[in-house]
Amino acid sequence: MILAGDIGGTKTVLALLQHDTEGVLRTVQEQTYASGEYDSFDAILELFLPKNVQIASACFGIAGPVVNQHCYATNLKWTIEGDLLKAKLGTQQVKLLNDLEAMAVGMLHLQAEEFIELNPNAEPYVGNIAVIAAGTGLGEAILYWDGRQHHPIATEGGHCSFAPQNQQQDRLLEFLRGRYSQHVSYERVLSGIGFSNLYDFLLDSQFAAACPAVPNAQNAKQGNVDRNAIISRLGINGEDALCSEVVRLFVEIYGAEAGNLVMKSFAMGGVFIGGGIGPKIRSALESGGFMQAFTEKGRFQAILGKVSVKLALNARTPLLGAMHYFDAE
């Protein structure tokens, strides 16, 4: 059996799989758990694994940095050790991946209809691929092309310093420094909390009047209301001027950072956009603002204008990556 997992701060998804007689990988068992309800990853494994099951290989994508096959999942206060899992599962074929590393592998196993091409001028090219994903946080990874196949490379690029591209973004950085005095990263903007940060900035800048449907941060927390979801929904539907500008600015900065990642990894093979936010703001990503910001790199504008930029629609991509990781080994 193959054991695969997608371990996140909110939920953990585990799956047992095996190849059928034709070599096709089939899911035998799959279960989703609320991560916060368990004290450790081992506790979930004990519930999930059937007695006497024989595990041939196991791979887990984890929301957190993986160093020497050791991961401390900060949002959960779980410590996950690759060597301990090898002993527990009875196999040397155990791999811990950063969640974006797993997502990157999963992207290679999606079907064409599970992508939306955002660049109408894209030209096919085989090479490195950049992976960027805004969700609870901002994840970035690279698929390195060695001439035969792609290899995933984890990064913590979402924590790089936010770099403004225009005067409005200059003012945004000054505003965010008031909230995050030590360091303003791209993740403060390109993540769920980014919608609230952008809304509060624009309100402070008197871009437009406050939206009556958007609670302030304190009331949202007390009422257990997802303020970020309200802002993004009103913005994408064009129901409020302030929220609409939030989404436009989010997309502009998202495009610029995706372009940065392409430049740093020379990802002429394209960009995959993952994460939970992208499909929810698909119409805004397709409107042209993303690609305009993506290509605005001075002398490299013409080159970036030919790079494929694909939005992935399959939310199970990190799990697919964990399922297929050992295929290429």
Q: How far apart are CA 61 and CA 96, in angstroms?
A: 6
pLDDT in tens, 23-73: 888 999 999 999 989 999 999 999 999 999 999 999 999 988 899 999 988
- Check whether residue 43 and residue 180 sit in a common domain: no
**Residue 205 counted as domain residue:** yes
pLDDT in tens, 212-238: 999 999 999 889 999 999 999 999 999
pTM summary value: 0.93
Query: How far is the CA of 116 from the CAs of 101, 150, 307, 314, in angstroms?
Result: 21, 21, 14, 11
- Check whether residue 249 and residue 185 sit in a common domain: yes
Does 6 count as an annotated binding residue?
A: yes
Token pair listed for 315: 């939310």
Token pair listed for 293: 């910001």
Does 305 count as an annotated binding residue?
A: no
Token pair listed for 104: 């990157």
- Check whether residue 84 and residue 134 sit in a common domain: no
**Measuring CA to CA, which residue among 297, 194, 208, 177 is closest to residue 247?**
194
User: Torsion angle of alpha carbons 145, 150, 154, 155, nearest 10°?
Assistant: 30
- Check whether residue 118 and residue 209 sit in a common domain: yes
- Check whether residue 15 and residue 156 sit in a common domain: no
**Residue 103 counted as domain residue:** no
What pLDDT score does 328 carry?
A: 64
What CATH number is attached to the domain comprising 279? 3.40.367.20
**Residue 91 counted as domain residue:** yes
- Check whether residue 136 and residue 271 sit in a common domain: yes
- Check whether residue 59 and residue 125 sit in a common domain: no
Does 275 count as an annotated binding residue?
A: no
How many domains in the chain?
2
Q: How far apart are CA 136 and CA 23, in angstroms?
A: 36
Q: How far apart are CA 323 and CA 206, in angstroms?
A: 49
Where in the sequence is the domain holding 42, given as residue range(s)? 2-97+321-328
Three-state secondary structure call for residue 21:
coil
Does 129 count as an annotated binding residue?
A: no
- Check whether residue 115 and residue 236 sit in a common domain: yes
Does 298 count as an annotated binding residue?
A: no
Q: For 222-263, what is the HEC assignment?
A: HCCCCHHHHHHHHHHCCCCHHHHHHHHHHHHHHHHHHHHHHH
- Check whether residue 115 and residue 208 sit in a common domain: yes
- Check whether residue 155 and residue 239 sit in a common domain: yes
Does 23 count as an annotated binding residue?
A: no
Token pair listed for 245: 């500008």
